[in-house]
């Protein structure tokens, strides 16, 4: 059985070559060829010996998801639907801005967390993505952008905010992020690499030791009763336990690098009292708040808070000393906005079998 080299980070590649009785520095060469120079044909890797190249052709492969469709929004946002070997499909989204280009990457086929405001959660869950299927989204997006835009658009930032809960696929996500951060591959700094989680507290503590990146917390409510209805994972890891984990994660860092995400739902979590409650639980944390206008999807009973309510909510937080922004709605005409990714999830598994 061939080893898919896209499933390995630098340490994994070093172990791979040592088993072949090759020098470990070959791992550095291969990582550069595949990710930095985008060469996947072993015969073209000219600083490897001919014998090694032939050996790799027999025992290794470079296998990625397949791009089925590409959609481009009127605002420049790009969405790719990618088919996996299991028959399901995932989605990745590129958001161009003046000084950066952000790629939203999926980590699972569907999601088992059942957050009520998210279209992905309504699709059910199939499986975790392999490392190659996670890092493959970045590799394929870079290739598509170079081809279609002559290098004028590039991925500078990555957010693990696509389909799935990244911390529920911990080992594969960590390995993929190691490749993203490696200077031999993509060289994305931890400040430009963000992982979004609904609040898997033990994994947040592990993340700080294994691969420290910017963190985004899907909060969406300031009390446990409401949050448990919106984000069922809250029943296992309530708000104060989650915020304590955030304090531990940010310890020793001067600049805030934790963002609290808060989707505004009309008449659900957007009142003056909701804003006051949010201030009371967040004012002592080194965080910034990103308010997200709800993006509708088929079958939902939620509505987005009116624009004046969003502005009032934002101003309340700012007046209380909290750094607060409102996320721009991007890609909604191609169903690529926050919370709208659905993919195509086959052979769904009940969440009770996962969590």
Residue 147 CA to chain centroid, in angstroms? 24
Alpha helices in 124-186 (DSSP H): 131-149, 170-181
- Rounded Cα distance between 349 and 112, Å, is 8
Average pLDDT of the residues in 182-196: 96
Q: Poorest-confidence range of 26-30, 48-52, 341-345?
A: 341-345
What would the two tokens of residue 87 be?
A: 């028959």
What pLDDT is recorded for position 122? 83
In this model, does residue 341 exceed pLDDT 80?
Answer: no
Q: Please report the pLDDT score of residue 257 as a whole number.
A: 82
Q: Which residues contact 169 (CB under 8 A, 6 or more apart)?
A: 107, 108, 128, 129
pLDDT at 66 exceeding the cut of 70: yes
Average pLDDT over residues 234-245: 97
Q: For residue 303, what pLDDT is reported?
A: 94
Which pLDDT value is given to residue 349? 57
Q: Per-residue pLDDT averaged across 303-313, rounded?
A: 96
Statement: residue 9 has pLDDT above 70: yes
Tell whether the model's pLDDT for residue 2 goes beyond 70.
yes
Confidence of residue 351 (pLDDT cuts 50, 70, 90): very low
Token pair 């926050």 is found at 338
Burial of 251 (0-12, 13-18, 19+ CB in 10 A): exposed
Query: How far apart are the C-alpha atoms of 261 and 226, rounded to whole Å?
Result: 15
Lowest mean pLDDT among 108-117, 259-268, 337-346: 337-346
User: Who wins on pLDDT, 339 or 245?
Assistant: 245
Catalytic residue among 91, 133, 165, 261: 91
Average pLDDT, the chain: 92
How do beta strands 214-218 and 193-197 pair?
parallel
Minimum mean pLDDT range among 55-64, 88-97, 326-335: 326-335
Distances (CA, A) of 43 to 21, 141, 185: 20, 24, 20
Q: Is 91 a catalytic residue?
A: yes
pLDDT the model gives residue 348:
59
* Stretch 144-159: mean pLDDT: 85
pLDDT value at residue 331: 82
pLDDT of residue 347: 58
Domains and CATH numbers, the chain: 3-61 (1.10.150.530), 66-353 (3.20.20.70)
Structure tokens at 43: 């015969």
Distance between CA atoms of 274 and 314, rounded to whole angstroms?
Answer: 12
152 is catalytic: no
pLDDT tops 70 at residue 30: yes
Identify the DSSP state of 213.
-
pLDDT band for 350, please (50, 70, 90 cuts).
very low
- Could you give the CA distance from residue 249 to residue 244 in angstroms, rounded to a whole number? 9
pLDDT tens by residue, 95-139 = 999 889 999 999 999 999 989 998 888 888 889 999 999 999 999
Tens-place pLDDT, residues 218-236: 999 999 999 999 999 999 9
According to the model, what pLDDT value does residue 279 have? Answer: 97
How large is the angle between the packed helices 239-250 and 272-282, nearest 10 degrees?
A: 50
Q: How far apart are CA 191 and CA 187, in angstroms?
A: 11
Whether the model pTM is above 0.75: yes
In this prediction, residue 269 has a pLDDT band, given cuts at 50, 70 and 90, of very high
Question: Of 111, 118, 304, 338, which one is the catalytic site residue?
Answer: 338
Query: Judging by beta carbons within 10 Å of its beta carbon (0-12, 13-18, 19+), is residue 258 exposed, middle or buried?
Result: buried
3-class DSSP assignment, residue 69: strand
pLDDT at 288 over 80: yes
Q: What is the pLDDT of residue 335?
A: 78
> What is the DSSP annotation of 79-104?
EEEEE-TTS-EEEEEEEE-SS-EEEE
Taking residues 262-269, what's their average pLDDT? 97
DSSP, res 183: T
137 against 345, higher pLDDT: 137
């Amino acid at each position: 059985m061939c080893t898919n080299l896209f499933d390995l980070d630098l340490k994994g590649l070093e172990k791979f070559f040592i088993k072949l009785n090759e020098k470990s520095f070959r791992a550095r060469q291969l990582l550069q060829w595949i990710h930095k120079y985008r060469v996947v044909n072993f015969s073209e890797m000219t600083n490897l010996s001919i014998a090694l190249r032939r050996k790799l052709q027999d025992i290794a492969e470079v296998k990625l998801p397949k791009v089925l469709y590409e959609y481009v929004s009127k605002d420049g946002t790009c969405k790719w639907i990618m088919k996996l070997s299991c028959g399901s499909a995932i989605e990745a989204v590129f958001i161009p801005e003046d000084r950066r280009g952000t790629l939203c990457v999926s980590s699972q086929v569907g999601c088992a967390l059942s957050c009520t405001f998210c279209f992905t959660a309504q699709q059910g869950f199939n499986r975790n993505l392999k490392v190659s299927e996670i890092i493959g989204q970045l590799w394929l997006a870079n290739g598509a952008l170079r081809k279609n835009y002559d290098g004028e658009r590039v991925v500078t930032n990555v957010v693990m905010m696509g389909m799935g809960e990244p911390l529920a696929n911990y080992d594969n996500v960590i390995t993929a992020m190691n490749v993203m951060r490696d200077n031999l591959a993509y060289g994305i700094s931890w400040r430009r690499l963000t992982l979004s989680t609904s609040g898997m507290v033990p994994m947040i503590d592990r993340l700080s030791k294994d691969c420290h990146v910017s963190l985004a917390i899907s909060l969406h409510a300031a009390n446990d009763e409401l949050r448990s209805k919106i984000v069922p994972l809250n029943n296992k890891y309530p708000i104060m336990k989650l915020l304590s984990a955030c304090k531990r994660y940010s310890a020793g860092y001067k600049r805030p690098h934790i963002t609290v995400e808060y989707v505004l739902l009309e008449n659900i979590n957007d009142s003056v009292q909701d804003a006051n409650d949010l201030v009371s639980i967040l004012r002592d944390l080194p965080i910034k708040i990103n308010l997200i206008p709800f993006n509708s999807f088929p079958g939902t009973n939620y509505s987005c808070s009116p624009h004046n309510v969003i502005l009032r909510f934002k101003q309340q937080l700012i007046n209380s000393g909290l750094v607060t922004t409102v996320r721009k709605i991007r890609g909604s005409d191609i169903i690529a906005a926050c919370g709208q990714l659905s993919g195509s999830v086959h052979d769904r598994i009940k969440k009770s079998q996962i969590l």
